[in-house]
Structure 1
Amino acid sequence: MTEDVPTVALNDGNLIPQLGFGVWQVSTDDVVPAVRTALEVGYRHIDTAAVYGNEAGVGQAIRESKIDRDELFVTTKLWNDRHRDVVGAAKESLGKLGLDHVDLYLIHWPSPRHGDFTAAWEQMQEVRAQGLARSLGVSNFTQTHIDTIMQLIDTVPAVNQIEVHPTFAQRAMRAYNASKGITTEAYSPLGLGDDLNRPEIVEVADSVNRTPAQVILRWHLQHGHVVFPKSITPHRIRENFRLFDFELDADAMKQIDSVDEGNRVGNDPVTADF
């Protein structure tokens, strides 16, 4: 793993780089150069998903990088229509990625109207048993969803990937994850850009001579989140990686904490209907 990026110990003993590179909504044309740039900059953690439609491009960029597989951490996710065919879906994703395993495989959404997340969690155990994934987790799961799967099988998800950013800090969900030994992964870490213009955040950024994006990402790291910003712009990919040569003091952290106002920008797992 890249020395500059700290790792987090998951509850199964595996290590995950705390900073990764996300490819949600990155087109098939853009994903190869974007991931190539990220790997050149020093990212070693790539987060994709079956539904993103760009697993093949991620795999191509990984192969072209010539980086040893052991130095990389790759995540992909099970889509909602495959909750009862988890092993088959995992093998399809691996075929597109050109890998024999991923480091982390997630149930993307509980999607109770269209899938069966309890059956999916049971079948996820076979994915790991077959060596197709080293760690297992969930995404967009609420406390109720996690309690439900843990009543069926005592394997605790290694991570729960949820929307978290300063104006939607999800304190209660993060505390619940921590109480179960589940690592919180933060997606939409900049609030789809909405949080960047908050005066409180701009003030902190100016005080440490950094961009608002950098201080928000640093805020995530200091809260212990695993975080993966997304960009297809080379200078922003580089900028988002420059997080390890400064720290936010307690007052700056409190100032960013203060902007939390329940500003969800994505779908609500309780009502999401897809």
Structure 2
Amino acid sequence: MKYRKLNNGIEIPSVGSGTNTYGKEGNQYSGALRGDTQEIDWAIENGYRHFDSAQLYLNEEVLGNGLKKSSLPREDFFITTKLNTFEGFGGADWAHAEIEKSLEKLQTDYIDLFLIHKPWDDHAEMLEAWTLLEDYYNRGVFKSIGVSNFEKEHLDLLLEQGGIIPAVNQIKSQVGNWNEELIAYNESKGIATVAWSPLRGIDEKAKQVLDEIGSQYGKTYTQVVLRYQIERDVIVIPKSHNKDRQAQCLDIFDFELSASDRDRIAAL
């Protein structure tokens, strides 16, 4: 596994597992919980130690139960979750209550990385939310804090008026939309980039190119995409409900893309 050192010295695995449909009926985002932890069990067996969750997914307890079932100590895992701000900010009391629910569902007394899931229009509220995360960080409940889906203007607000620089910005970075400008801005401010759903957006034309590149290394097109991202120092959180494909997404550390192959991928 490759690790990325965050701006506070904490190390995060460069490949993690998404979880937003794990433990749900029909593997559907809106599905009811099935009552099992099969995908988490497989992921742990495959070697995943970094898991990305969120309050919005309504299944944090699936991850908590799966990690608890394993024979591994809590400190072996890197857990990310996110404050649900898709409808804005409900105030400090609301946020405290939601954070306590996350800790309970995840069955832990600390979270490795806690994010604001999405920016909204009220800058004063965003600063209030960020200050609240800073307090949890300063008390050691959150080992790192960051943001998700933030653009430059939102980052600037926190950089100019907040007390702590976000450790990460989790954003869209996929084939056809690598988001180079925002990634460069993140890096210039010491903010690591995490790519959500890094395997989306691959059409047949792109798949053909990626397959051709992968054949040189004995790798699949998905492995090529993930390798390209981590060679850019972008952290990736792929997700699969198939045990073998989960394993494939981790099997990307025994080859390196050539400069010409990287150029071809960048142009997709």
**Shift of residue 122 of structure 1?**
1.3
Gaps of 5+ in 2: 25-32
**Shift of residue 199 of structure 1?**
2.7
Name which of 51, 54, 72 aligns with 2:59.
54
Question: Counterpart in 1 of 2:150?
Answer: 141
Task: Give distance in 1, aligned partners of 2:230 and 2:157.
Answer: 29
Question: Counterpart in 2 of 1:109?
Answer: 118
Task: Give distance in 2, aligned partners of 1:117 and 1:230.
Answer: 29
Task: Give distance in 1, aligned partners of 2:231 and 2:90.
Answer: 34
SS in 2 for 1:230: coil
Matching of residue 34 in structure 1 with residue 35 in structure 2: no
* Contact 1:23 1:48 survives alignment (8 Å): yes
Q: Give, as a single letter, the amino acid of the residue that structure 2 aligns with 1:21.
A: S
Q: Give, as a single letter, the amino acid of the residue that structure 1 aligns with 2:157.
A: T
Matching of residue 121 in structure 1 with residue 130 in structure 2: yes
Task: Give distance in 2, aligned partners of 1:30 and 1:223.
Answer: 38
TM-score (norm 2): 0.89
SS in 1 for 2:147: strand
Question: Counterpart in 1 of 2:28?
Answer: none
**Shift of residue 131 of structure 1?**
2.4
**Shift of residue 127 of structure 1?**
1.5
Question: Counterpart in 2 of 1:270?
Answer: none
Matching of residue 70 in structure 1 with residue 66 in structure 2: no
**Shift of residue 123 of structure 1?**
1.1
Task: Give distance in 2, aligned partners of 1:19 and 1:221.
Answer: 8
Task: Give distance in 2, aligned partners of 1:20 and 1:30.
Answer: 23
TM-score (norm 1): 0.88
**Shift of residue 194 of structure 1?**
4.0
SS in 1 for 2:143: strand
Matching of residue 7 in structure 1 with residue 14 in structure 2: no
- Using a 3 Å threshold, how does the CA distance of structure 1 residues 30 and 194 change in structure 2: closer, same or farther? farther
- The alignment-based identity, stated in percent, is 34
Matching of residue 84 in structure 1 with residue 91 in structure 2: yes
Q: For 1:57-83, what per-residue CA distance to the aligned partner results, in whole angstroms no more than 9, with x for missing partners?
A: 100000111211111100000001545
Q: For 1:85-123, what per-residue CA distance to the aligned partner results, in whole angstroms no more than 9, with x for missing partners?
A: 333321110111111011000000002279932221111
Task: Give distance in 2, aligned partners of 1:126 and 1:194.
Answer: 44
- Using a 3 Å threshold, how does the CA distance of structure 1 residues 49 and 196 change in structure 2: closer, same or farther? farther
* Contact 2:134 2:163 survives alignment (8 Å): no
* Contact 2:54 2:80 survives alignment (8 Å): yes
Matching of residue 171 in structure 1 with residue 183 in structure 2: no
Number of matched pairs:
255
**Shift of residue 193 of structure 1?**
4.8
Gaps of 5+ in 1: 260-274
* Contact 1:50 1:79 survives alignment (8 Å): yes
Q: What's the Cα RMSD here? A: 2.0
- Using a 3 Å threshold, how does the CA distance of structure 1 residues 84 and 157 change in structure 2: closer, same or farther? same
